[in-house]
Structure 1
Amino acid sequence: MNLPYPHFQVNLKVYPDTWGDHAVAFARMLEQLEAETSARFVLTPQLPDLRLIAAETDVTVTAPFMHATEPGRGMGKILPETLADAGADGVVINHAENRDTLTDLVWKIERCRDLGMDSIVCVDSIEMGRAVAEFDPDSVIYEMPGDISSDRAITQTHPDRVRAFLAMIDEENPRTRVLVGGGISTAEDVRLAFEQGADATGAASAVSLATDPEGLLREIAAAFP
């Protein structure tokens, strides 16, 4: 696996002022936080910024998406080989805002394995997690779609679901790591995620839209086990 554990993943999505020079500056800030604390971070930038961040920083970077496509014809497609060459340590698959078919999901897990990138598969239920675990992804992101971009962290509202999901993965495929997401927005949310047994956690809007993202991330770093 390429991703460090435990970690906090920051997904920049397409929020304002999170691309280009802003993205590189954000990655350098994460680098500094890693140097000053025991926390580890994973950054998921917009695709055009991935190569630059990988070249100019040592932050672990993951791609937010790729297509299930082979080299050849495919105008506008995102090729797995391109992401690997750009320095992606992993690829997020089947996010709630960009769903994959089951056929593509399985293909992407296998292609990531072939190219040396971690497969990071989003699931929204214990049942889906059990089905995906059969295909041996490197990690799964467990989040309820309704919690995304909200202040309803599942670690606060449904800790029983988190523990049940983690127990299921431990039974079905203990090699697969689990990131708990959706609504994570405070250091307390993060502390609870790790306390409940998650290998990682993360956020998007809570960090990307924060008035003081560095201050928030310092608080989060202090919540690491």
Structure 2
Amino acid sequence: MSLVKKPFFLVNPKSYLYGDKILKLAKIADKIAQKYQIDVLFSGQLVDLPRIKSETHNLILTAQHMDSLVAGRGMGHVLPEAVKNVGIKAVVLNHAENPLTLSVLDKTIKRAKEVGLFTIVCSDTVEQCRAVAELGPNMMICEPTSLIGTGNTSDDKYIVDTVKAVKEINPQILVLEAAGVSTGKDVEKVLRLGADGTGGTSGIINAPNWEDKLNEMILPMKKYKEEN
């Protein structure tokens, strides 16, 4: 059974929030995940995730990166076993802000699988989506790098083509379409066009009220789930 059930939502604060602020957002996301019975993945700085784990109950806590090393030498790198040991369930790899070569990505996905971490791998173009899908991640984030943080969503053709590209390689890979998603209507759009889930960063953290924004974005998922 997959760790994540569709439709799902990723709250991804990147490096914008830490400490008490990210804990505040996590508690809001935790409450809303329970309210709507939607799987919510939540990423954060590695040093903050153990505290978030101790004060939430419904989130799938997600590291923003890890390395492929094994226990031993590797000063300054993120050890997969250490990530798993503190209760983190998933890891994002190859984000546009921390890209990996295909060979390094391949090794890192394999190491994540060895220790039992759910892999969420980012890709840009349709061609990159096909190449990454061949590596067998559990989930892919398909988004044009040029649109990240702009508030402009991917066009319909990009969403349809990237979902198709991934599913043709491996229909078991979950596809998250996220670039620029910041409203409930954006969420409805990506689900209607075939995405298994979505998520956001700037659209959430820049909102005047985080709880209102997450309610706006996750409620359509509940409705979609009930209708499909």
Fold shared, TM-score > 0.5 on shorter chain: yes
Could you tell me which residue of structure 2 aligns to residue 8 of structure 1? Answer: 9
Instruction: Show CA shifts across 1:57-76 (max 9, x none).
Output: 12111100112212112221
Determine if the alignment matches structure 1 residue 217 to structure 2 residue 218: no
Instruction: Show CA shifts across 1:198-221 (max 9, x none).
Output: 011011111122211110111112
Instruction: Show CA shifts across 1:114-134 (max 9, x none).
Output: 111111110001111111111
The alpha carbon displacement at 1:151 in A equals 1.3
Q: Is the 8 A contact 2:25 2:210 kept in 1?
A: no
Instruction: Show CA shifts across 1:19-68 (max 9, x none).
Output: 12222222221121122224331111111111221233121111001122
Q: Which amino acid aligns with 2:4?
A: L
Helix, strand or coil at the partner of 1:184: coil
The alpha carbon displacement at 1:4 in A equals 3.3
Could you tell me which residue of structure 2 aligns to residue 73 of structure 1? Answer: 73
Instruction: Show CA shifts across 1:120-172 (max 9, x none).
Output: 11000111111111111101100011101101111xxx101111111122211
Q: Hey, what's the Cα distance between the residues in 1 that align with 2:159 and 2:99?
A: 22
TM-score (norm 2): 0.92
Matched ranges for 1:55-94 at <5 A: 55-58=54-57, 59-94=59-94
Q: Hey, what's the Cα distance between the residues in 2 that align with 1:173 and 1:39?
A: 24
Q: 1:167 aligns with which of 159, 164, 174?
A: 164
Q: Which amino acid aligns with 2:208?
A: T
Q: Which amino acid aligns with 1:209?
A: N
TM-score (norm 1): 0.93
Q: Which amino acid aligns with 2:128?
A: M
Helix, strand or coil at the partner of 1:14: coil
Q: CA RMSD in A?
A: 1.3
Could you tell me which residue of structure 2 aligns to residue 179 of structure 1? Answer: 176
Structure 1: which 5+ runs fail to align?
none
Residues matched between the structures, number:
220
Structure 2: which 5+ runs fail to align?
none
